[in-house]
Every structure is written in C-alpha cells, then in structure tokens.
Amino acid sequence: MKKLLLIFFLLAIVATGIQAQTFVQKCSTGQELRYQIQADQKTVALVEIVMEDYPDDDYPGDLVIPEKVTYKGRSYLVTTIGKRTFVGNYGVLQTVTIPKSITFIDESAFGDGGETGIYDVKVAKDNPIYQVEAENNEDSTMSSVTWTTRLIDKRTQKVLWFTVEELVFSNDPEEIIVEPEMKEYFMDEIVEVEEEEPVTRIPASLAEFPGGMAALQEYLVTNCQYPQEAIEQGQQGVVMIEFVVEKDGTISNITVQRGVCEALDEEAIRVVKAMPRWKPADDNGRKCRSYYTIPVIFLLK
C-alpha cells in the first residue's frame, strides 16, 4: 500500500510539473493580458484579456498585442491566440492589432463571427499567415455603401472575424450612420467654438451644397485624387469629415471625425477645403453657422 501511495504521489508531482504555466502582464496599450507558456519553453499563447481590474469607463479599448514578452528574466515570442480569447469583451475592447509573430489563431478566438463587438482588426504587413481584407458594395442608386472587413487565414481562406458597416448619403448629418451602435465612431459631441455666435448642430433648414446632394457626390468623385502612397500601401476606406458652413457659405473648422491613414485623411481635407460656397443653413428665418458631416470614400479598383 505504501508503494502504491508513493506512485500516486510521484504521478501528482509529474502532473504538476507539466501543467502549462500562465502569467499576467500589462501590455503597452494598458490591458492586462494572460499568457500561457508553450511546451517549447520559448513561445507563449495569448489566452485571456483580464477584465476584472478595469471599470467599464476606464478600460483601454484599443489593444496592440506585443511580439515578445519577458517573464522571470526570460524572453518569449508571442505566437498564438488561444480559444475564445476575445469573447466576453463586447462593447469594451474595440480594436485589436496583431503582430507579425502570430502564426496561429484559434478558430474560436473571436467567437462566432464578431460576437466580441470588436469593430476593427489590423495585422502587421509582414505577418506571413493572416491578413485583413475589405470589400464594399454600393447600391444601384449610389445612395449607400456597405463596408465589410474580414480577418483571413491566407492558408485556408477561413474567416476568423468580420464586421459590417453601412453608410448612407443624406442631407441630415444625424442620419449618416445607419447602425446606431456605430454612431459614436463617426459623430462627436457638439464642439464648443470660441466665437460670439454659436454653431448650430441641427438648424431648421440645413446647409446645402450648390446643386444638392447629387452635385456634392459628383464633386467628390471628380476632385478626389488617390494619393500614390496610399495606393502602394493598399489603403482604402471612408474618411468622415466634419466642418462648419459659415453664414456666407464658406467652409471652416474642418476636422477628421474618423480617418483611414494620413495620406487619405489629408486628401479628404484638401477636397473639402476646396469646395465652392454652400447655401448656408437657415434657423427660424435667419442665416446661421452650422455643422455638416460627409463621408469621403476611397476605393481601390
């Protein structure tokens, strides 16, 4: 009996010794990440985004996964994203950047097709296995665009994550975003302007581009010049621009509400800045300064 107990004791020691070791470490973007040391003792898997220490209003929503981590004086390469790593972060974790060191992402890492609420995923250009693809579909009337972004395993073409955004063109800036949950990423709160006369967010009669919405769309299509830098880098997307239409119809206070990259953002600002004078907004019979928001779309053919 003593010999049998000794065998069980030794087996328990061996089992404890081979149990995968995990540790928690804060990354550069502020999240506490749990890693699991792999069998080769040189690499780790990201297995959990630790949430309990963060109130919802203070949690950093943009995650950049590191390529390497150091634990107890040893350096480990981060090569794996484990099962259901991002599940349970709905509405909290917003964007994820995946480094070139990641060579395996479990099929359940993002849940079932975007249930995490993550609206943007980026992958390092030199990652050999994973890439992000974007696709757009315009309706026949050119009044809306559906933008789909997917994380793809290049070996199998399997979709690991995706998100869909829909934009419609409207004279009413409050109606530009179809999906309410996406609105916060496109429209900020009213910006206080240090002027004697305030800027009106929603006047009785909105400002209007000369010739109306159709003429505005034609102007953007005709005058936008795709920057060569963005073409070479494969950059495309929708730049949301907010500006003020002054009482004399001129444009001022141009800001990027949501950008794509520096080159496309700057081109969108240039085109908006060069627009002809608008018909100013009217509020209860008087001209007024007003905000207006438009999407400037850049699509690679």
- Tens digit of each residue's pLDDT (9 = 90 or more) over 52-85: 655 555 667 889 999 999 999 999 999 999 988 8
Residue 274 has pLDDT above 90, yes or no: yes
HEC readout, 227-255: CHHHHHCCCCEEEEEEEEECCCCCEEEEE
pLDDT tens, position by position, 172-199: 544 444 444 444 444 444 344 344 578 8
Q: Where does the pLDDT of residue 166 fall: very low under 50, low under 70, confident under 90, or very high at 90 and above?
A: low
Q: How confident is the model at residue 144 (pLDDT cuts 50, 70, 90)?
A: low
Q: What are phi and psi of 255, to 5 degrees?
A: -135, 150
Using an 8 Å Cβ cutoff, are 207 and 245 in contact?
A: yes
* Token pair for 80: 């794996």
What confidence score (pLDDT) does residue 116 get?
Answer: 55
pLDDT above 90: percentage of residues in the chain: 43
Q: Mind listing the domains of the chain with CATH numbers?
A: 21-167 (no CATH), 191-298 (3.30.2420.10)
| Band of residue 31 on the pLDDT scale cut at 50, 70, 90 | confident
> How much of the chain, in percent, has pLDDT values that exceed 70?
74
For the cut 80, the answer to whether the pLDDT of residue 25 exceeds it is: yes
Q: Predicted confidence band at 164 (pLDDT cuts at 50, 70, 90)? A: confident
**pLDDT for residue 139 is more than 80:** no
Q: Chain-wide mean pLDDT for the chain?
A: 80
What is d(CA 38, CA 20) in angstroms, rounded to the nearest whole number? Answer: 7
Q: Is the pLDDT of residue 168 over 90?
A: no
pLDDT tens for each residue of 101-136: 999 999 888 876 545 568 788 999 899 999 988 777
User: For the whole model, what pTM was predicted?
Assistant: 0.52
CB 70 within 8 A of CB 78: no
Closest to 173 in 3D by CA, of 164, 186, 163, 185: 186
Residue 173 contacts residue 187 (beta carbons within 8 Å): yes
Average pLDDT rounded to a whole number, residues 269-275:
94
pLDDT tens track for 194-228:
445 788 878 888 999 998 888 998 999 899 999 99
